[in-house]
């Protein structure tokens, strides 16, 4: 068994530029930019579900759901869970410009082809579980909001077979607190701007997402400017644990994935579709604390002109595909602080011909065991490897 420590390996261009290269830093929008609900919001874990003041309450007695408004008057009574919650939301003040809260107490069922829609300035806490049944297609989700601002979901539990657990499109000032999904299909949390791509979805905070059994991703963003995520935990999901598409100014605490994307090219953490690209450049604006991956497809995958990212710590073992694959990406650091990679597929810089080859890629502060490191094909520039200890691992570098 061979142990080799690589202290530094750079292209000639990288050596020439080493002393002059400056990585620009953009301020991450962590609730301080603009106005809205995410400013100063306490963590959901600090307040028990349903505590505090609220303007509507939806409760279950036997098989009857009752929704009451702020005066305590009934606005719905019947057996339809979704209709009761929507009636509670509808009883809030019309045209409001500050958050009003709806609290749901009890476990309810709704169909996959239906939605609970959140208008602007609405907070919904579900103190129970929404079980989604049946099948459907399109952008249906038990929690849905589009073209809105100031949305809160402090607590949510979802089970069953939704198309999406949460679907938010072209929204601003969003807070998702403690989100738990134990699913049989679907995608956990989707936040995007695909209704109007000329406008970013902005200022999104997600505290803690746990997704098990989704057939797609645990969480996915597309077209978001200003994202703060605490932890995404993915267990046996069909595709990625966390997938960031065309998202900028993002801070992620931890991605913890087991068996994410088994048998696929998806990854515990994936960046794609010009993720991290600001204008035409890649300043360091995507920051990830820890990526942990066990089994599944890939550990980390950066692709399709993404970059501007630093992943501080990695803990990757026994992935079925590449432990790390960087393909046509720019200004990416793995790992900023420390990391271990054991078994699984190789750590690789690769390239497709339709995009410029990777540049500014740094593998550092790693121990790599029982898998190889390879840069192939030999295109691109200013890619470096330093402070990497290899155990039973070969290095192929350009």
Distances (CA, A) of 224 to 146, 172, 202, 249: 14, 9, 6, 8
Looking at residue 47, its pLDDT comes to: 81
DSSP state string for 278-325: BTTB--B-EEEEEEEEESSSEEEEEEEEEEEEEEEEEEEE--SSEEEE
Report the distance separating Cα 104 and Cα 309, nearest Å. Answer: 39
Note the pLDDT of residue 7: 54
Q: What is the pLDDT of residue 329?
A: 98
Residue range 33-62: mean pLDDT, rounded: 73
Does position 21 have pLDDT exceeding 50, yes or no?
no
In the chain, the N- to C-terminal Cα span, in Å, equals: 24
Q: Is the pLDDT of residue 195 over 80?
A: yes
Calculate the average pLDDT of the chain. Answer: 92
| Residue 135 in this model has a pLDDT that exceeds 80 | yes
Residue 2 has what pLDDT?
56
pLDDT for 281-332, tens place per residue?
999 999 999 999 999 999 999 999 999 999 999 999 999 999 999 999 999 9
Confidence of residue 98 (pLDDT cuts 50, 70, 90): very high
Q: Which phi and psi angles does 87 have, rounded to 5°?
A: -65, -40
How far is the CA of 396 from the CAs of 12, 15, 44, 124, 381, in angstroms? Answer: 16, 19, 48, 53, 15
pLDDT on residue 153: 98
Beta bridge partner(s), residue 152? 123, 175
The span from the CA of 24 to the CA of 36, in Å, is 28
Q: What is the percent of the chain where pLDDT is above 90?
A: 88
More confident residue, 333 or 136: 333
pLDDT at 22 over 90: no
Alpha-carbon gap, residue 345 to 266, rounded angstroms: 13
> How confident is the model over 138-162, as a mean pLDDT?
98
Q: What is the pLDDT of residue 46?
A: 63
pLDDT of the residue at 237: 98
d(CA 214, CA 235): 9
pLDDT of residue 246: 98
CA dist., res. 233 & res. 356, Å (int): 33
Closest CA to 193 of 258, 142, 246: 246
Closest to 155 measured CA to CA, from 181, 191, 119, 117: 181
Query: Is 266 in contact with 290 (CB distance < 8 Å)?
Result: no
pLDDT over threshold 60, residue 137? yes
Give just the sign of the alpha carbon dihedral 96, 97, 98, 103.
positive
Coil, helix or strand at residue 46: helix
Structure tokens at 161: 């077979």
Rounded Cα–Cα distance for residues 57 and 102 (Å): 6
Tens digit of each residue's pLDDT (9 = 90 or more) over 208-232: 999 999 999 999 999 999 999 999 9
Share above pLDDT 70 across residues of the chain, in percent, rounded to a whole number = 88
DSSP state, 355? S
pLDDT of residue 3: 62
Condensed to tens digits (0 to 9), the pLDDT of residues 367-390 reads: 999 999 999 999 999 999 999 999
């Amino acid at each position: 068994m061979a142990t080799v420590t690589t202290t530094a390996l750079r292209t000639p261009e990288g050596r020439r530029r080493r002393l002059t290269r400056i990585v620009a830093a953009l301020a991450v929008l962590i609730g301080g930019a603009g106005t809205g609900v995410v400013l100063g919001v306490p963590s959901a874990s600090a307040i028990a579900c349903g505590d505090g003041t609220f303007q509507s309450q939806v409760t279950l007695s036997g098989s009857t759901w009752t929704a009451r408004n702020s005066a305590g008057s009934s606005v719905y009574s019947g057996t339809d869970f979704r209709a009761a919650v929507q009636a509670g939301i509808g009883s809030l003040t019309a045209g409001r410009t500050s958050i009003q809260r709806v609290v749901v107490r009890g476990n309810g069922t709704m169909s996959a082809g239906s939605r609970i829609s959140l208008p602007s300035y609405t907070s919904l806490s579900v103190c129970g579980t929404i079980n989604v049944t049946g099948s459907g297609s399109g952008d249906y989700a038990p929690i849905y909001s589009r073209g809105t601002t100031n949305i809160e979901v402090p607590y949510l539990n979802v089970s069953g077979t939704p198309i999406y657990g949460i679907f938010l499109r072209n929204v601003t000032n969003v807070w998702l607190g403690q989100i738990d999904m134990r699913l049989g299909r679907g995608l956990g949390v989707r936040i995007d701007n695909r209704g109007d791509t000329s406008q970013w979805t902005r200022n999104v905070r997600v505290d803690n997402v746990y997704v098990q059994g989704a057939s797609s991703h645990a969480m996915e963003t597309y077209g978001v400017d200003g994202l703060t995520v605490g932890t995404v935990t993915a267990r046996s999901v069909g595709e990625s644990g966390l997938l960031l598409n065309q998202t900028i100014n993002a801070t992620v605490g931890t991605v913890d994935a087991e068996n994410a994307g088994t048998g696929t090219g998806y990854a515990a953490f994936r960046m794609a579709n010009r993720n991290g690209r600001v204008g035409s450049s890649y300043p360091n604006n995507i920051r990830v604390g820890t990526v942990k991956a066990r089994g599944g497809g890939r550990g980390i995958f950066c692709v399709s002109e993404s970059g501007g990212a630093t992943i501080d710590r990695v803990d990757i073992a026994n992935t079925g595909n590449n432990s790390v694959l960087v393909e046509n990406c720019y200004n990416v650091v793995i790992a900023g602080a420390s990391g271990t990679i054991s078994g699984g597929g190789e750590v690789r810089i690769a390239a497709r011909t339709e995009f410029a080859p990777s540049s500014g890629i740094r593998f550092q502060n790693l121990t790599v065991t029982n898998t190889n490191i390879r840069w192939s094909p030999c295109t691109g520039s200013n890619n470096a490897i330093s402070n990497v200890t290899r155990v039973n691992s070969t290095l192929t570098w350009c």
